[in-house]
Amino acid sequence: MSARRERALVRPHVVTGGRARPTRNIFDLVTLVMAARSDLNGLSPEKRRVLELCRGGALSVAEVAGHLSLPISVTKVLLSDLVDSGHIVTRVGGTDDGETSTRLLQEVLDGLRARL
């Protein structure tokens, strides 16, 4: 196994303190996260970076993972820790309005058909 591959395997394990699952199961790819506290004391560099990213406004879990260059699963563990400590708050992306969801799905379907 190459040194680069070994580093890629070790880093997420170190970032999460060896945990593979978040303490809360509240995140999907479009869940929005926003900074709630600005206190950075005692936070890991990755958690500090999350707060810096979220100070500019809400970001989705997928966007945070992309900015951190970390897998979604690792990002969810970090975000869960930050929710537990009160540093960030979440908001579910999208709406509960069935009509809006149906319209959006129809637009996506129409767009896909136009490309094929």
Residues 55-74: pLDDT tens digits?
888 999 999 999 998 889 88
Of 12-16, 40-44, 110-114, give the range with the top mean pLDDT: 40-44
Q: How far apart are CA 81 and CA 48, in angstroms?
A: 12
pLDDT at 34: 93
pTM of this structure: 0.68
- Report how far apart the first and last C-alpha atoms of the chain are (Å, whole number): 41
Q: How far apart are CA 96 and CA 67, in angstroms?
A: 28
